[in-house]
Structure 1
Amino acid sequence: MNEYLKGWMQACAEAVIIVMVLYFVFFPVKVEGFSMFNTLSDGDRVFVSRVMTEMKLYQRGDIVVFKHEAAGKNRMMVKRVIAVDGERVRIENGNVYINEELLHEDYVMGQTYGDIDVVVGKDKIFVMGDNREGSVDSRELGAIDESEIRGRVMMKVYPFNKVAVYR
Structure 2
Amino acid sequence: MSQGEPSIRVRLWTRQIIETITLVLLMLLVVRLAVQNFHIDGQSMEPTLHDQEFILVNKAAYLLQQPARGDIIVFRYPKNPQEDYIKRIIATPGDKISITHDAVIVDGVALHERYINKQDAHDYDPATTRRTIGSDQYFVMGDNRGNSSDSRDWGTVPRQNIIGKAIVVYWPFGVDNFGLLPSESDVFAHVH
Bigger strand share: 1
Tell me the TM-score normalised to structure 2 length.
Answer: 0.78
Report how far residue 93 of structure 1 moved: 1.7
Deviation of 1:53 after TM superposition, in Å, equals 3.5
Gaps of 5+ in 2: 1-9, 184-192
Secondary structure of 2:75's partner?
strand
Within-5 A mapping of 1:77-88: 77-88=85-96
Q: Distance in 2 between matches of 1:103 and 1:30?
A: 28
Q: What's the CA shift for 1:10?
A: 5.1
Residue 37 (structure 2) aligns with = 28
Identity, in percent, stands at 27
1:63 aligns with 2:72: yes
> For 1:93 and 1:73, how far apart are their aligned partners in 2?
31
Unmatched segments (≥5 aa) in structure 1:
none
Deviation at 1:9, TM superposition (A): 3.3
Residues 14/114 of structure 1: CA separation in 2 closer, same or farther (3 Å cut): farther
Q: SS at 2:66's partner residue? A: coil
What's 1:136 paired with?
Answer: 149
SS of the residue corresponding to residue 108 of structure 1 reads coil
Which residue matches 2:135?
A: 122
- Aligned CA distance change for structure 1 residues 7 and 41 (closer, same or farther; 3 Å): farther
How many residue pairs were aligned? 166
Q: How many angstroms does 1:155 deviate by?
A: 1.1
Q: 1:142 deviation in Å?
A: 0.9
Per-residue CA deviation, residues 55-95 of structure 1 (Å, 9 max, x unaligned), is 4521111000011154x563210000001000011100221
The 10-residue stretch of structure 1 (76-85 or 106-115) with the greater mean CA deviation from structure 2:
106-115
Could you list the runs of 4 or more consecutive aligned residues of structure 1 that deviate by over 4 angstroms after TM superposition? 1-4
What's 1:164 paired with?
179
CA-to-partner distance for each residue in 1:77-135, whole Å, 9 max, x for gaps?
00000010000111002210111111111110113322121111110000000000110
Counterpart code for 1:164:
G
1:34–1:3: structure 2 CA closer, same or farther, 3 Å change rule? farther
Amino acid at match of 2:68: Q
CA distance in 1, matches of 2:133, 2:158: 10
* Residue 55 of structure 2 is aligned to residue 42 of structure 1: no
SS at match of 1:53: coil
Q: What is the RMSD of the two structures over their aligned residues, measured on CA atoms?
A: 2.0
Contact 2:100 2:125 in 1 (8 A): yes
Distance 2:97 2:78 in 1: 23
